[in-house]
Structure 1
């Protein structure tokens, strides 16, 4: 039913429940798992740190975000490989909801599994804004997973 499953992560603790669910779903379907981290541009006055390509002033900020992304996707890959799953790790730059949807389209993703809240979950009362936008605009099923 599902050949390619996407699990976007921001490296936060709330993402852990979604990662576990995505791995279980991929194992049940013998599916390829795609772990995606999006480096989001941070507006700083007239500049935007995290945009690709980054200016020299912001290269350290972007590099730190990429390092976080590499660590987050590597953790997913390690957990998934314990279940003998094929894993594709990816880091994209841009608005998370846009990049998640574009990635899903470009890689023929069959389902997206994501947490209801991410890093800034405390100020997102009902559903994380990134998750909400993905749910509303996705052309493939989106499984949302609550933390805890």
Structure 2
């Protein structure tokens, strides 16, 4: 039923709970898990850090975010390895909901499993704003998972 399952991660507790669900689903379907971390552009003054660093100072910010992303996706891979589930790790740059939906199209993803809350932002109090946008716009099933 599912061959490729996307689990967007930000390394939060909610993302870890969603990862556990994604790995279970992948194991049941003999599917591959795609772990995606999105480095989000941060508008500061006239500059935007993220997709294209504006200066050497922004290089450090982006590198720190990429390192955080590598740790988050490696955590997904470690959990999946315990169940012998194949994982593809990816780090993208841009608006998280747009990158998630674009990744789905580009990689023929069959389902998305994601946490209801990320780890930042006052606008994510009820359901994470990224999750809400993905649920509304996704052409594939989205399983939302509350943190344990």
Band of TM-score, shorter chain: over 0.9
Residue 69 of structure 1 is matched in structure 2 by: 69
Pairwise CA distance, 1:133? 0.3
48-57 or 98-107, which deviates more: 48-57
- TM-score of the aligned structures, taking structure 1 as reference length: 0.95
Q: Distance in 2 between matches of 1:122 and 1:23?
A: 29
1:43 paired to 2:63: no
Question: The residue matched to 2:13 in structure 1 has which SS?
Answer: coil
Q: Distance in 2 between matches of 1:137 and 1:50?
A: 23
CA 1:69–1:54 in 2, change beyond 3 Å: closer, same or farther? farther
* Runs (5+) with no aligned partner, structure 2: none
Two-structure CA RMSD over aligned residues (Å) = 1.2
CA 1:43–1:72 in 2, change beyond 3 Å: closer, same or farther? same
- TM-score of the aligned structures, taking structure 2 as reference length: 0.95
Q: Distance in 2 between matches of 1:141 and 1:87?
A: 19
CA 1:60–1:118 in 2, change beyond 3 Å: closer, same or farther? same
1:27 paired to 2:27: yes
Q: Distance in 1 between matches of 2:120 and 2:4?
A: 28
Aligned positions, number: 148
Question: The residue matched to 1:10 in structure 2 has which SS?
Answer: coil
Conserved in 2, the CA contact under 8 Å of 1:54 and 1:62? no
1:85 paired to 2:85: yes
* Runs (5+) with no aligned partner, structure 1: none
Q: Distance in 2 between matches of 1:82 and 1:13?
A: 19
Q: Distance in 2 between matches of 1:118 and 1:79?
A: 19
Conserved in 1, the CA contact under 8 Å of 2:14 and 2:145? no
